[in-house]
Amino acid sequence: MQKLRKNLFSLDYSKVENISFLVKKVIAPNPSPFTLHGTGTFIIGKEQVCVIDPGPLIESHVDNIIKAVDRNIISHILITHTHADHSPAANILKKKTGAKTYAFDSYPKGIKGSNFEEAHDKDFIPDVKLRDNEIIKGKGWTIKAIHTPGHTSNHLCFSLEEEKILFTGDHVMGWATTVVVPPDGNMDDYISSLKKLLKNNFKLYFPTHGSPIKNPEKYVRGLIAHRKMREVQILDELKKNSLSINQMIPKFYSTTDKRLWPAASMSLLATLISLEKKRKIVSEKNHLKDNEKTWKYNTLY
């Protein structure tokens, strides 16, 4: 962690990284234990360009995006999902450029959010709602939207058809496991959305946070196996004793940075809900908070 902190301070956020023939990347100055160095904004195209995830409300970052685009025109603003480190700057960029915004949908109305740190941007409303497999075309580039619910219900990955690259947003991250926060986040959807990616033949993934993923199929299979391993671990422990999330976290995440434990408890809750739906476990003491109520192995299963 010490090394990471040093790297964060030395990062030059005005730097534009050329990552392929069609793609550039600018990182927003919002480093944290959840975003690593910050939100990676991708710029696609040469003359008429598309921007994926303009990031949090940081004016200097929007200025860096516009500088990176140079004299070319921003025609499309694409949003992977409505978390506060991805979509809020879309409206400023739209005002400055006149480009339309594209996303699966706004944050769903009527959902009682959790108090979790990775907050939702409830103000964002896309100009154009994208559906699964919808194509967006610009001069010299073609992007396909792939609906990948799980991390959030409105999450999209974007494939750049010309380069067989997939922009994975937070669905697949380059440095940590994706957080799944109920009730909008859903572990069963997340696993299905990982399997969905395996049906395509991408050669490279670019996540919003972290490094590119060069062997994506193997990486995604590893993520699915990791979640399966966690299910087995939970069931094994619950066969011995009923436990609350507060009791499970130190057992399962003893080697994880403690600042990530609140995130880990959210994903753990998502896994417990999934196991309860499959009737493998049942919750007890439901009047208590999510972290305090206990979970029991269902011997009738």
Residues in contact with Zn ion by CB under 5 A are 83, 170
What is the smallest separation between the CB atom of 83 and Zn ion, expressed in angstroms? 3
Nearer to Zn ion, 24 or 83 (CB): 83
Query: Beta strand 73-78 with 100-103: parallel, antiparallel or unpaired?
Result: parallel
Nearer to Zn ion, 37 or 83 (CB): 83
Residue type present at position 134: E
CA distance 62 to 125: 19
What is the smallest separation between the CB atom of 51 and Zn ion, expressed in angstroms? 17
Question: Are 56 and 30 in contact, with CB atoms under 8 Å apart?
Answer: yes
Question: Are 277 and 189 in contact, with CB atoms under 8 Å apart?
Answer: no
Nearer to Zn ion, 181 or 245 (CB): 181
Nearer to Zn ion, 170 or 290 (CB): 170
Number of H helices, E strands in the chain: 7, 15
Question: Are 86 and 39 in contact, with CB atoms under 8 Å apart?
Answer: yes
Q: Tell me the backbone φ, ψ of residue 29, rounded to 5 degrees.
A: -80, 60
Question: Are 173 and 151 in contact, with CB atoms under 8 Å apart?
Answer: no
Residue type present at position 238: L
What is the smallest separation between the CB atom of 142 and Zn ion, expressed in angstroms? 25
What is the smallest separation between the CB atom of 181 and Zn ion, expressed in angstroms? 9
What is the smallest separation between the CB atom of 293 and Zn ion, expressed in angstroms? 26
Nearer to Zn ion, 97 or 153 (CB): 153
